[in-house]
Amino acid sequence: MKEKLYSLLLLQKIDNEIAWENAKRDRLPERIQEKEREIANLEKKYLQERNRIKELQIRIKRREIDAKSINDKIEKSKNELYGGKISDIKELKHLQKVIESLQEERDQVEEDLLILMDEEDNLKLEIRNIEKELLEIKEQLTEIQQKTIQEDRAIQEYIKKKEIERQEVVDRINDRSLIEKYLLLWNEKKGEAIVEIENAICSGCNLSLPSDVIYHLQNDDYLIMCPNCNRILIWKETS
């Protein structure tokens, strides 16, 4: 039985290695998903900025139309002022005030235009930066995808080798009942079905083992389980 238990200990080591590699393989897509989320967020931001600049360009166009309209009015008023058709002083002064008022309004519109166009330039720069960042992250995603494929293949190859080793150990144990008991415990105890004992303490649950259990572990050759956690016990051999 002891030889079977030492083989079982090796089987547990192999099973834990396989479980660890499978867990690594399960986590591989996380890096891809993280980059895909970054891309999705950037694309959303890019769309928002594009919509902002469209709205801004509409506002600029409207203010340009306003500026042209005001300039047309100024030109018309100047033609009336200097055309010689109006001789009344009051009318001429009124026209001068109208022109001054229109010029002030035009100045304000032009100032608004400068602010809007500056904002447009900043938005265009932001959009170019987003485009550049998107390109870089998409390139990173491609690299990660390729690396993930390579790592996945390597893990699968490693697992295949370990599964061959595992089958060899199972064949060596050649005890279906013991293997089934081990598998139930391995799943229940999260990869720790069998534990080595060397200081009268169960390393699975930290129970101080009774002296008779220690005696049987050291001297007898049959299956002994921890009275507390039900793990399979084996005395640790020292060379």
User: Which of 150, 174, 198 is where one domain is finished?
Assistant: 174
User: Which of 148, 174, 200 is where one domain is finished?
Assistant: 174
pLDDT at 188: 95
- Give 123-182 pLDDT, tens digit per residue: 999 999 999 999 999 999 999 999 999 999 999 999 999 999 999 999 999 999 999 999
pLDDT at 185 over 80: yes
The rounded distance, in Å, linking the Cα atoms of 138 and 37 is 11
pLDDT at 89 over 80: yes
Query: Do residues 207 and 224 both lie within one domain?
Result: yes
DSSP string for 95-120: HHHHHHHHHHHHHHHHHHHHHHHHHH
Query: Do residues 63 and 158 both lie within one domain?
Result: yes
pLDDT at 239 over 70: no
C-alpha dihedral sign at 155, 156, 159, 160: negative
What 8-state DSSP symbol labels residue 190? T
pTM above 0.85, yes or no: no
Query: Do residues 149 and 220 both lie within one domain?
Result: no
**CATH number for 154:** 1.10.287.1490
- Give 209-232 pLDDT, tens digit per residue: 999 999 999 888 899 999 999 999
The rounded distance, in Å, linking the Cα atoms of 148 and 156 is 12
Percentage of residues in the chain having pLDDT higher than 70: 99
Confidence of residue 195 (pLDDT cuts 50, 70, 90): very high
pLDDT at 152: 97
Query: Do residues 131 and 197 both lie within one domain?
Result: no
* Of residues 38, 35, 40, the one with CA closest to residue 143: 35
Percentage of residues in the chain having pLDDT higher than 90: 85
pLDDT at 167: 97
Confidence of residue 1 (pLDDT cuts 50, 70, 90): confident
Confidence of residue 17 (pLDDT cuts 50, 70, 90): very high
What does the mean pLDDT of the chain come to? 94
Q: Which two tokens stand for residue 10?
A: 């090796």
What 8-state DSSP symbol labels residue 237? P
- Give 52-74 pLDDT, tens digit per residue: 999 999 999 999 999 999 999 99
Give how far Cα 119 sits from Cα of 65, 131, 132, 228, 231, Å.
19, 18, 20, 72, 70
Query: Do residues 112 and 56 both lie within one domain?
Result: yes
User: Which of 129, 157, 174 is where one domain is finished?
Assistant: 174
The rounded distance, in Å, linking the Cα atoms of 162 and 142 is 30
Query: Do residues 16 and 118 both lie within one domain?
Result: yes
Query: Do residues 145 and 223 both lie within one domain?
Result: no
Structural domain range at position 184: 180-235
What is the per-residue burial (b if ≥16 Cβ within 10 Å, else e) of 221-236? eebbebeebebbbbbe
Amino acid at 162: K
pLDDT at 166: 97
Query: Do residues 170 and 195 both lie within one domain?
Result: no
pLDDT at 238 over 80: no
Query: Do residues 228 and 113 both lie within one domain?
Result: no
The rounded distance, in Å, linking the Cα atoms of 133 and 41 is 12
Residues 6+ apart with CB under 8 A from 45: 130
Number of domains in the chain: 2
pLDDT at 40 over 70: yes
